[in-house]
Amino acid sequence: MNPGINTYTIGIEGVDDELTLARDTARRLKTHHHEVLISMDEVFSNMENIVSIMEEPSDKGSLVPTYFLAQAVEDKVTLVGEGADEIFGGYNRHKIYLDRYYGILNKDKKFEDYFNENLRLFKGDKNIKWNDPDYFIENPASVIGNRVLKYDIETELVQFHNARLDKMFMANSIEARTPYLDEDLVSLALSFKFASKFYPEKKPLRRAFEGEIPANVLNRPKAALKMPFDSWLERKEVLSVLKNSILPDEVFSQEDINKLLETKKEQKNTPRLLWLLYLSNIWYNQNKQYGILFD
């Protein structure tokens, strides 16, 4: 065992975890490994503090495990893996831009559907014909390419992921560093052809660690972090907040929230929206004395 390297994995009750995979990796690397298991009761007893530290409501599932991870880390400086998906193409939305070009993914779905559902990028780029889906059908690799990744780096990564890490770890007096966001590594990753990063996703990163990480970890498909919003919404403390919302009506009325509660099983994203409204109530209650206005 290498006592100089600590590694950590969070497991939350009701959430598909990666404890076994992390354990295999830690065993291969001979680290001092820590597994932190969090019950649902612990999640909800800390929810006020989670929202307070983040300073804004967010429905991102990674918010909760990051809070508990920051509490568990013993080192004053730690390394985290944020940024790997953004620079090496780890999200499903990255692969959809190759669909028409390669004809591999979801052959029963038209590229135009992807365009309408997902293309929210580069609105300020005057060289792109935004109202012409054929433009993207003809040029998906050359027009979009690594600019999809660059957009994620400059927006979601900065506005949420890095802010989440900074706030949660600094609240525990820990400095979290992100080696994947080293300027030279980002430049190198974005110099690779966009298509070379897929099938499987993050292909260059997988190849770089061949022989270093167990094969069952290295070769597994990318898995999204799915929080159990459905079961969380059944908890009495959540329902109590949602059924007695203090949000201003111009933001979201109680009538609208009640309708969402009645139909939450009918729409795919409704549970996530209700979870966001639950956190928004907590956040608003913590800050309403400051006379917050909503646009």
Q: 255 lies in a domain?
A: yes
**Distances 99 to 48, 88, 147, 212, 288 between C-alpha atoms, Å:** 42, 17, 16, 32, 46
Predicted local distance difference test score (pLDDT) of residue 96:
66
Q: Is residue 243 part of a domain?
A: yes
Burial bucket for residue 124 (CB in 10 Å: 0-12, 13-18, 19+) = exposed
Query: Angle at Cα 117 formed by Cα 111 and Cα 118, nearest 5°?
Result: 85
Q: What's the domain count of the chain?
A: 1
pLDDT at residue 186, rounded to an integer:
92
> How confident is the model at residue 267, as a pLDDT?
80
d(CA 73, CA 8): 7
Report if residue 130 sits inside a domain.
no
DSSP annotation of 221 reads: P
Averaged pLDDT in 10-residue chunks for the chain of 295 residues: 79 86 92 93 95 91 92 92 91 67 50 51 50 50 63 84 94 95 92 82 92 90 84 94 93 93 86 94 90 59
Range of the domain at 243: 229-290
Output the pLDDT for position 104: 44
pLDDT of residue 193: 79
Q: Answer for the pair 186, 87: CB distance below 8 angstroms, yes or no.
A: yes
| Furthest CA-CA distance within the chain | 58
Nearest Cα neighbor of 115 from 145, 89, 137, 143 is 137
pLDDT at 196: 82
Which residue type, as a one-letter code, is found at position 271?
P
* Domain-located, residue 158: no
- Is 184 within the bounds of a domain? no
Unique residue bearing structure tokens 């295999």: 24
Within 10 angstroms of residue 249's Cβ, the number of other Cβ atoms is 10
Residue 202 located in a structural domain: no
Instruction: Kindly state whether residue 170 falls inside one of the protein's structural domains.
Output: no
pLDDT on residue 123? 46
- Domain assignment present for 78: no
